[in-house]
């Protein structure tokens, strides 16, 4: 049986006022979002900073997607900002257990994101210690990056091996590929540009949800 796919709006900006506006839009149709943080080193782009996010105190339930080196340095900021979960990149650190332990100490849920080129086998010794896995279907760092369909095979294989862990897919997701994403058995799809760069974010969200689960 295929899971019912959740759509998680992904918020990416380097401007605090824009983020406030995106949150206000999102609150009209969802109660959970992902806020992307980029440091300009792990990925070439910059976003709003952890310190700005802490000062902002987003008024919605949210998780942080940390596209940043040394993710352990960011965890306390996002916890203070009200995040429920942090997702850091496998490729951003060599000490994954330390990041996981620090998140647990802060009472944050914790997940790991995998870039398209990283094999799922990299998580073999970590999967039992985390709450979720986020498979990137783009090379991260930009809204509107090109979708890499080969990642979906990796997701399906991981789902067969790990039936209970929460699986998300992130990047390049649009109405023409959302059914394929749903068919992988993933639990959620993180969608940015196809929602927020459309003329009507709420309509785009509901349309994606309908297509995914039809």
Spatial CA neighbour of 173 closest among 140, 198, 202, 208 = 208
Q: Given 131, 170, 187, 203, which residue is catalytic?
A: 170
Query: Residue 49, SS3?
Result: coil
Distance CA 39, CA 69 (A): 7
Q: Given 17, 36, 105, 176, which residue is catalytic?
A: 36
Active site residue 170: yes
- Strand 188-191 relative to strand 132-136, pairing: unpaired
As to burial, measured by CB atoms within 10 angstroms (0-12 exposed, 13-18 middle, 19+ buried), residue 44 is: exposed
Distance CA 177, CA 158 (A): 19
Helix 16-27 and helix 201-212: axis angle, to 10°?
Answer: 60
Torsion of CA 18, 93, 140, 7, to 10 degrees: -70
Active site residue 153: no
Any idea which residues carry the catalytic annotation? 36, 170
């Amino acid at each position: 049986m295929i899971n019912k796919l959740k759509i998680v709006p992904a918020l990416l900006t380097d401007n605090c006022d824009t983020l406030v506006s995106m949150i206000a839009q999102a609150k009209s149709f969802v109660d959970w979002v992902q806020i992307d943080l980029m440091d300009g080193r792990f990925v070439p782009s910059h976003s709003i900073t952890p310190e700005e996010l802490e000062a902002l105190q987003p008024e919605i339930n949210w998780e942080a997607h940390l596209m940043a080196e040394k993710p352990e340095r960011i965890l306390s900021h996002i916890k203070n900002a009200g995040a429920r979960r942090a997702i850091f990149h496998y490729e951003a650190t060599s000490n994954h257990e330390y990041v996981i332990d620090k998140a647990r100490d802060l009472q944050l849920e914790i997940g790991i994101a995998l870039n398209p080129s990283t094999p799922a086998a990299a998580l073999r010794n970590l999967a039992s210690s985390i709450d979720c896995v986020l498979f990137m279907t783009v090379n991260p760092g930009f809204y509107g990056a090109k979708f890499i369909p080969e990642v979906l095979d990796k997701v399906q294989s991981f789902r067969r091996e790990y039936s209970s862990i929460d699986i998300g897919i992130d990047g390049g997701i649009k109405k023409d590929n959302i059914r394929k994403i749903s068919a992988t058995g993933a639990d959620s799809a993180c969608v940015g540009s196809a929602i927020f760069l459309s003329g009507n974010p709420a309509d785009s969200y509901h349309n994606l949800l309908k297509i995914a689960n039809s």
